[in-house]
Amino acid sequence: MFFILSKILFYLVMPMVWIIGILIYSIFTRDVRRKKAAVISATLLLLFFSNEFIVNKALLYWEEAPVPIADLQSGYTAVVLTGITESNKSPKDRIYYNKGADRLLHTLQLYREHKIKSIIISGGAAVVVGEQIPEAESLKKTFLNAAIPSNAMIIETESRNTMENALFTKKIIDSLNLKGPFLLVTSAFHMKRANGCFKKAGIEVTEYPTDFYSTDGKFTPDYLIIPSERALSKWSLLIHEILGYWVYRIMGYSIPT
């Protein structure tokens, strides 16, 4: 039930849903003042949420900072969280990755540079209806194609959210008596919630954020002034993650890191 409700809640917090809702209200209200106020409010919200400069500042504040590879010791077991593939695409003779593919690519780089010795891939089939191959299996297939040996990988295929990533990974670590250090690999915007869940589960990890939505920024007119549909998408992602972070805290699924 929590999984389904979290998916529904995601759509309710999207800025475009708010803007469209206000515009619909402006169409049906007969009060001239309220109609005008609704149109102005929707316009201001659209200008705010479509501004790249503003959303980038918010992302820089929220995302965990990149970790220089040179600062990492050797011998980590990387815990790679899934949520980076697209299953609703044919033909099914390949794996379709989205922007989060950095989680996989950066892990591959760390393995090649001898920073990690083994990989736990955590993630099942995160779908509400229908069936899907567990994402962990898809990532393992890609790692195998990149010549990482099968005996260097462990897959966890039951989890459907971040809380379950941590709990099921903890079971694997305990059952195999694995010793750290552990390197948590997930998107930078997701790291606060993920690390909190792993800490709650009793797993101490070193953070290795990937898949950054923030940039160093620039001061050109198109960046500072011109509305961007990318900014709207980034706000949806950020608001969803911040909400998820606090829901997890309130529900006791994660703790501060």
User: Looking up tokens 């402006």, which residue turns up?
Assistant: 26
Tokens of 80: 């790679």
pLDDT in tens, 20-53: 999 999 999 999 999 999 999 999 999 999 999 9
Mean pLDDT of the chain: 92
Phi, psi (degrees; rounded to nearest 5) at 115: -90, -25
Q: Which pLDDT score, from 0 to 100, does residue 4 have?
A: 61
Distance CA 135, CA 97 (A): 11
pLDDT at position 113:
96
Distance CA 3, CA 1 (A): 5
Is the pLDDT reported for residue 6 higher than 70? no
**Tens of pLDDT along 119-129?**
999 998 755 45
pLDDT of residue 126: 58
pTM of the model: 0.89
User: What are the boundaries of each domain within the chain?
Assistant: 2-63+228-251, 69-210
Q: What is the pLDDT of residues 64-81, one digit of tens each?
A: 999 999 999 999 999 999
Per residue in 93-139, pLDDT tens?
899 999 999 999 999 999 999 999 999 999 987 554 556 789 999 99
- Please give the single-letter amino acid code of residue 83: G
The neighbouring-strand residues paired with 81 are 122
Residue 205 CB: number of other CB atoms within 10 A?
23
pLDDT in tens, 180-231: 899 999 999 999 999 999 999 999 999 999 999 999 988 888 888 899 999 9
Alpha-carbon distance of 255 to 198, in angstroms, equals 9
Query: Can you tell me the distance from the alpha carbon of 257 to that of 246, in angstroms, rounded to the nearest whole number?
Result: 13
pLDDT at 131: 66
For residue 83, which phi and psi values (nearest 5 degrees)? 100, 25
pLDDT-derived band at 7 (thresholds 50, 70, 90) equals low
pLDDT (0 to 100) of residue 23: 95
State residue 217's pLDDT score. Answer: 83
> Angle formed by the axes of helices 229-251 and 15-28, to 10°?
110
Residue 75 CA to residue 68 CA, distance in Å, equals: 16
CATH architecture assigned to 69-210: 3-Layer(aba) Sandwich (3.40)
